[in-house]
Structure 1
Amino acid sequence: MAVSLSSAAALPDSSGRLPIDEAPLRPIHVVAAAAVLGGAVLDGYVLGIVGPALRLADAELDLSALSQGLIASSALIGVFFGGMFFGNLADRYGRKPVFGWNLFAFVVLSLLQVFVQDVWQLVALRLALGLAIGVEYAVGSSVLAEFSRRRDRGVLLGCFSVGWQTGFTVAFMIGSFYDGDNWRLLLASSVVPALITFMLRLTLPETPMWLKARGREAEARAVVDKHFGPEYGIPHVDLNPRHASVAELFTAKQWRLTLYSGLFWFCQVGPFFAIFTFMAPVLASLDLDGSLAVDLSLNAIQIAGAIAGVLMLHWMSRRGFVIWTFSIILATFLALGLFPQAPTGLVIALFAVYMFIGPAANNIEFVYPPEIFDTHLRATGIGFSAAFSRVSAAGVTWLLPWLLERLGFSATLILMAGFPLLGLVLSVLWAPETKHKHLT
């Protein structure tokens, strides 16, 4: 059964102050958006650059299909542990320390890739980078939600996916135009967006909602007065000075929302990461490889899809968004898988549909979880959801080169159609409506 969450109009508190999420645009909104979305660009870049780098590293490292999959999926495995562990730390000890110094780890790990000598060293570093990316998913979206305006929150959180897609596409394009053979330098190039974002985050304060939830009223009031104005207050937050725990995600009141938050994400990203990480062999399976024009066109479609997804979040309900996008992806996978001998023009059109809808659908991954979980549990809940989703992302990415080699593209895509089918059924049964909900 679908769950409806409150989105009633805001009321002033006992002092006549409206909540900070009703405030007009302030500089803090811009700084928070830049600090978080810069991390989204970085995440996409780190995950996107590995595909082009592996093509260059293949000869030196003598990579098998399974070892290519392991290297590509290692960062996704790291996201599992990073989201689960660091999300809970951010609920316990604050968004700012975890969120800020995570970028320093990105800088160091990016540079260490220059010194890689074998497959296992590369797997270890990519795994560590995945831990850092897990922090971005769990804590970044919490920070952005808690600094956002209520009416704009869905669009702003959806821009996380646009930033991610931008970083992923930029990495793909840099890899496509790179004419050198130093794959280590290609991987280490993520240090540039990491440094820029790290400097931005040093200027961001702790979120007043987290401070209030921990009983630190005076500090929360000081942040609000400085960045929003004394005429605004903090929305009602249940005082919860004790440490958040993963067990709270599975109480009688919460368990269904928790499972849905992880499962819909799980169903979206499994096929997505596999197809986008190994774009070259996928295109070869469709007889579309080797054309720069095709590469440029598909990347333009991805960016257009990510932007369209933000507009869809503004116009559509949350339930409608996930139900319709899962339906379209399911139909596209089945058509491509069941009719491999279809005319080339139709195959290109169907694949372009997924290249558009896939990035569009991903926008809600950074909207639903922050709206589903309460403040004292938000980063823990998002971290659990991100971690759960990476089970499918890492597994399918690891196996995709092997599946393509053994089964071919059509049979592989029919298998992957199980993900949007499961997502569609779960969304019809469980998807909550959270649009314009007040964060509590």
Structure 2
Amino acid sequence: MAISILPGGPAMRDAFGRLPIDEAPLKPIHIVAAAAVLGGAVLDGYVLGIVGPALSIARQEMQLSAISQGLIASSALIGVFIGGLFFGNLADRFGRRPVFGWNLAAFIVLSVLQIFVQDVWQLVAIRLALGLAIGVEYAVGSSVLAEFSRRKGRGVLLGCFSIGWQVGFTVAFVVGSFYDGDNWRMLLASSVIPALITFVLRMTLPETPMWLKAQGRDAEARAIVDKHFGSEYAIPDVDPNPHHASPRELFTAEIWRQTLYSGLFWFCQVGPFFGIFTFLAPVLESLGLRDATAVDMSLNAIQIAGAVVGVFLLHWMSRRGFVIWTFVIVLLTFLALGLFPQAPTWVVVALFATYMFVAPAANNIQFVYPPEIFDTHIRATGIGFSAAFSRISAAGVTYLLSWLLQKFGFSATLVMMAGFPLLGLVLSIFWAPETKGKHLR
């Protein structure tokens, strides 16, 4: 039985005849918030994507084993686990803006520090810290975007977080592919450029009125609404909770199932995704595709197309239908690739391209479901928990995939990874909520 979360229905005016701010037409604040958040999404994708090309250059100098490569690649994902758990709760306690804004300063400093790396453990430590910063983006960025978004276009806008991430990941791959030097440290440090741009954008964004109202700071919230939305709009009904949000609230009798589902569906989506995309070159070799540059570029174009199509599907489909059917397609694709390794090359390429298209499309809902599931006073904590939980599978598969490919081969590894979409499909059939059109509280 699906978790019961009902849509909010038509907008209701308050006692003064004002509509909620999420019913306002497009305003400059919507554009600024979208740019500030989606810039962070691009940065996240770039930071996680650039490590693959950098490792291919660093392998000989650092004498990296398969396990060492997995540790470096997965360290940022482990950091996301810690950052999501800790900093999401800080954003619910002390505000979106301070955590959201100064997180970019950490990106800038850590990006530059990668220039001075001398051994594997130094690189692991810095990538772990970068993962902490990315965890903030997942937890707080989507909260900020949801709370500044318009209700009718919220799913599309939040889904664009995934497009931004995919753009950053693909740009990192393109930069790495065309980089003809041997300074892999500089390649890693190139993330300082999108970090600086996004930092400037963040400094212009105010605190979200919904968070202020949840803290009982009505006058400050009203001033921001008047300035950026107009006096004819009001803040939606938000459950006031001026006390510090506690992660324990996520596991109360009322919401424990939706908390678990929010983390588990994400867990099932990203485990295979990060493993395959981080080690794309050996995966393609396992498939017998050796024209690396041409194939890689084509597949990255497919990813971008998939992410864009996924946003439109979010607009057209129910949330439940979207997550269930994408799990079905990924499950069938993995099983076909794993069980029929001797299929003609064109069939293998078509199946792998299907995954490369569907996976980024499916990932869009990772940034839609959690913000819609959790209420304002606990939203960033809930999203942070969900992102952190998902990184257990992402870090685990990324850490082990290179070894699994060597030990068992590509076909057996794909059959193993089919367990992720299978679990996600079963969970979604029983637990996936319908949140489309819901008024945030």
Does residue 409 of structure 2 align to residue 417 of structure 1?
A: no
Q: Partner of 1:375 in structure 2?
A: 376
Q: Partner of 1:167 in structure 2?
A: 168
Is the Cα contact below 8 Å between 2:284 and 2:292 reproduced in 1? Answer: no
Does residue 298 of structure 2 align to residue 297 of structure 1?
A: yes
Q: Once the two structures are aligned, what percentage of the paired residues are identical?
A: 80
**Which stretch of structure 1 is more off in the superposition, 1-10 or 70-79?**
1-10
Q: Partner of 1:407 in structure 2?
A: 408
Secondary structure of the 2:390 match is helix
Secondary structure of the 2:237 match is coil
Does residue 311 of structure 2 align to residue 310 of structure 1?
A: yes
Is the Cα contact below 8 Å between 2:281 and 2:292 reproduced in 1? Answer: no
Q: CA deviation at 1:5?
A: 1.9
Deviations 1:283-328 (A, max 9, x none): 0100113332211110110000000000000000000000000000
One-letter code of the match for 1:148?
S
One-letter code of the match for 1:286?
L
Is the Cα contact below 8 Å between 2:51 and 2:188 reproduced in 1? Answer: yes
One-letter code of the match for 1:20?
I
Q: Partner of 1:252 in structure 2?
A: 253
Q: Partner of 2:103 in structure 1?
A: 102
Q: Partner of 1:236 in structure 2?
A: 237
Q: Partner of 1:142 in structure 2?
A: 143
One-letter code of the match for 1:438?
H
Does residue 152 of structure 2 align to residue 151 of structure 1?
A: yes
Gaps in structure 1 of 5+ consecutive residues: none
Q: Partner of 1:205 in structure 2?
A: 206
Instruction: State the alpha-carbon separation in 2 of the partners of residues 331 and 419 from structure 1.
Output: 12
One-letter code of the match for 1:51?
G
Q: Partner of 1:127 in structure 2?
A: 128
Secondary structure of the 1:186 match is helix
Secondary structure of the 2:152 match is helix
Instruction: State the alpha-carbon separation in 2 of the partners of residues 289 and 138 from structure 1.
Output: 39
Q: CA deviation at 1:112?
A: 0.2
Q: CA deviation at 1:104?
A: 0.4
Instruction: State the alpha-carbon separation in 1 of the partners of residues 54 and 405 from structure 2.
Output: 20
One-letter code of the match for 1:55?
S
- RMSD over aligned Cα atoms: 0.5
One-letter code of the match for 2:363?
N
Secondary structure of the 1:408 match is helix
One-letter code of the match for 1:121?
Q
Secondary structure of the 2:142 match is helix
Q: CA deviation at 1:359?
A: 0.3
Q: Superposed, which structure 2 residues align to 1:23-422 within 5 Å?
A: 23-422=24-423
Instruction: State the alpha-carbon separation in 1 of the partners of residues 57 and 5 from structure 2.
Output: 50
Deviations 1:106-158 (A, max 9, x none): 00000000000000000000000000000000000000000000000000000
**Which stretch of structure 1 is more off in the superposition, 287-296 or 10-19?**
287-296
Instruction: State the alpha-carbon separation in 1 of the partners of residues 6 and 64 from structure 2.
Output: 49
Instruction: State the alpha-carbon separation in 2 of the partners of residues 165 and 297 from structure 1.
Output: 14
Deviations 1:389-429 (A, max 9, x none): 00000000000000001000000000000000000000000
Instruction: State the alpha-carbon separation in 2 of the partners of residues 5 and 373 from structure 1.
Output: 13
Runs of 4+ in 1 over 4 A off after TM superposition: none
Deviations 1:80-119 (A, max 9, x none): 0000000000000000000000000000000000000000
Secondary structure of the 2:153 match is helix
Instruction: State the alpha-carbon separation in 2 of the partners of residues 59 and 411 from structure 1.
Output: 28
Instruction: State the alpha-carbon separation in 1 of the partners of residues 271 and 296 from structure 2.
Output: 22
Q: Partner of 2:17 in structure 1?
A: 16
Secondary structure of the 1:49 match is helix
Instruction: State the alpha-carbon separation in 2 of the partners of residues 331 and 281 from structure 1.
Output: 22
Instruction: State the alpha-carbon separation in 2 of the partners of residues 249 and 292 from structure 1.
Output: 45
One-letter code of the match for 2:24?
A
One-letter code of the match for 1:35?
A
Instruction: State the alpha-carbon separation in 1 of the partners of residues 133 and 198 from structure 2.
Output: 13
Instruction: State the alpha-carbon separation in 2 of the partners of residues 122 and 349 from structure 1.
Output: 37
Q: CA deviation at 1:6?
A: 2.7
TM-score (norm 2): 0.99
One-letter code of the match for 2:200?
M
Secondary structure of the 1:150 match is coil
Deviations 1:8-29 (A, max 9, x none): 1110011110000000000000
Instruction: State the alpha-carbon separation in 1 of the partners of residues 102 and 423 from structure 2.
Output: 37
Instruction: State the alpha-carbon separation in 2 of the partners of residues 145 and 57 from structure 1.
Output: 40
Q: CA deviation at 1:7?
A: 2.5
Secondary structure of the 2:6 match is coil
Q: CA deviation at 1:4?
A: 3.4
Instruction: State the alpha-carbon separation in 1 of the partners of residues 293 and 53 from structure 2.
Output: 14
Instruction: State the alpha-carbon separation in 2 of the partners of residues 341 and 174 from structure 1.
Output: 34
One-letter code of the match for 1:358?
A
Instruction: State the alpha-carbon separation in 1 of the partners of residues 115 and 290 from structure 2.
Output: 29
Instruction: State the alpha-carbon separation in 1 of the partners of residues 40 and 209 from structure 2.
Output: 21
TM-score (norm 1): 1.00
Secondary structure of the 1:324 match is helix
